[in-house]
Amino acid sequence: MSIKVAIVPVTQYQQNCSILKCESSGKAAIVDPGGDVARILDAVAQMDATVEKILLTHGHMDHCAASDVLRAQLAVPIEGPEREDAFWIDKLPESCQMSGFPHADAFVPDRWLEDGDTVTVGEQTLQVFHCPGHTPGHVVFLHEGQKLAWVGDVLFQGSIGRTDFPRGNHADLVASIREKLFPLGDDITFIPGHGPTSNFGHERKTNPFVADENYG
Amino acid sequence: MKTMAELDPLRQEFLEQTAQISWRELQPYYARGAVVLVAPGMDLVEIAAQLRLDNKQRFEEWLAEGKVSGVTDAVAASLFEENPTVWAVVVAPWVLVQRITTDDA
């Protein structure tokens, strides 16, 4: 038994919120609940899952604005991102107002994550990789058995995350992708924060921002 | 503006693919950092063609002159509020976006 995943695009940014269910225990995590709580909970019900935690890749509003509401409603902890993203979470009310998102309060996760940590979902274990660049505290989750990664806004099919934010850094982002993610294997499928899934091998060949041919 | 028959195949392709769309429908692309704003009065099809041709020097000039630009948070907030209909054309992985002016109507 392994995991089952449902992707629920949420908010006007169509951010890929995921429900990750451990099939043997029925326990689940909600990854990056940026908004649209009713749609997320509907997906959870359709999977017949019991949510035991919320996982966050980073502190941008489209990835985390519904976290605190869900934490209170489901009485579950929030794990992630890495502590350097605290300033983004603190700015949630301002960011939401500026971009036409429903109001969200700032919050403090129950557990900040670090590179090399693991998180559990039921009987499943995910590895945590600190991948700064898009935001300084961005993390990526990997389920090794299923060869599946949640990369947030680090990497997209055919593109990479923005780095024109406060404390964004293009060189750090490229290093995160090429030095931390690509060595995990060409056969790792990834769920990005926006748009379709892909795999690292395909991006190494075709992604104009991080392809092997551009880096000797 | 040149007629379709006067354009080369590359520019014809982009002209055929250029369409009007509301800003809010483009927000998922903005969230991915894929939207490039083109100043009113610029030839959107020509800019698409030069982007496809990877004319780095021309693009750097346009960037320096403010004729093409990324979308700042402040500009995105204004566009969200107003939700204008804009011209858009895809030059993967980018989406070029230009505000519609009265001259276009």
Least confident of A146-150, A203-207, B55-59, B73-77: B73-77
Q: How confident is the model at residue B5 (pLDDT cuts 50, 70, 90)?
A: low
CA-CA distance, A5 to A55, in Å (whole number)?
14
Distance from CA of A88 to the nearest CA of B (A): 14
Q: B56 at the A interface (CB within 8 A)? A: no
Question: Do A99 and B93 lie within an 8 Å CB cutoff?
Answer: no
Distance from CA of B70 to the nearest CA of A (A): 9
pLDDT digits (tens, 9 = 90+) for A177-186: 999 999 999 9
**Residue B4 clears pLDDT 70, i.e. is over it:** no
Nearest CA in chain B to A63: B31
The conformation of residue B67, written as its DSSP 8-state character, comes to S
Domain locations in chain B as residue ranges: 13-99
- Contact yes or no for A85/A59 (Cβ under 8 A): yes
pLDDT digits (tens, 9 = 90+) for B13-30: 999 999 999 999 999 999
Nearest CA in chain B to A14: B28
Q: Which of B32, B36, B81, B82 to mutate to test the interface with A (most CBs of A within 10 A)?
A: B32
Q: Which among B33, B72, B77 is the nearest to A161, CB-wise?
A: B33
ipTM exceeding the 0.90 mark: no
The pLDDT of residue B73 is: 85
CA-CA distance, A125 to A144, in Å (whole number)?
8
The pLDDT of residue B74 is: 87
Q: B22 at the A interface (CB within 8 A)? A: no
pLDDT digits (tens, 9 = 90+) for A86-144: 999 999 999 999 999 999 999 999 999 999 999 999 999 999 999 999 999 999 999 99
Nearest CA in chain A to B25: A12
**Residue A66 clears pLDDT 80, i.e. is over it:** yes
Question: Do B34 and A208 lie within an 8 Å CB cutoff?
Answer: no
